[in-house]
Amino acid sequence: MVALLAAEKDALLTRVIPYLDEIRPLCYEMDEDLALVLAVIQTESGFRPSVVSTRGAVGLMQVTPDTARWMAGQIGLDGYTDDKLYEKQWNLTIGISYMQYLRRLFDGNLPQALAAYNAGPTRVRAWLEDGDWDGSVELIDDIPYGETRNYVKKVLKSYDRYRRLQV
């Protein structure tokens, strides 16, 4: 009975969350938190793989070509071209890898890593060094950029929802 309920829940989630069948195995393979990746995708692109931002960020995880080229080199992803960012698998692999890089860079501090995903690691380091923001969840309202402040809040709120769904 429990297995049947779990299978029904999984089938429902797959129908409700776009591309879950592609995102879940990649998160498992890359040892990344599925709920976090879903929250980032929801906030970044609304699960639209062909969306391009005004700043040139592409795809589900809204990665810029410059960041993608750099990240592809860091993880040894052969055959990368900017056109590949429109392909879900490439976009997810690079976006997830970049999120993992930022989490390591900011010693596992999720709000800082999310802020860096949005505003760039150089800006976040400057905010921390200048005392503009202490990097904590409690003081997210101190993030100097309104767009980044709202971004971090949205991702964390979505992350909490996805975790409660136990995706």
Provide the annotated active-site residues.
44
| Crossing angle of the two packed helices 146-165 and 34-45, in degrees rounded to 10 | 140
In 3D space, the residue among 157, 117, 149, 151 whose CA is nearest the CA of residue 133 turns out to be 149
Which phi and psi (to 5°) does residue 166 adopt? Answer: 55, 55
Helices and strands in the chain, H and E counts: 8, 0
CA distance from start to end of the chain: 19
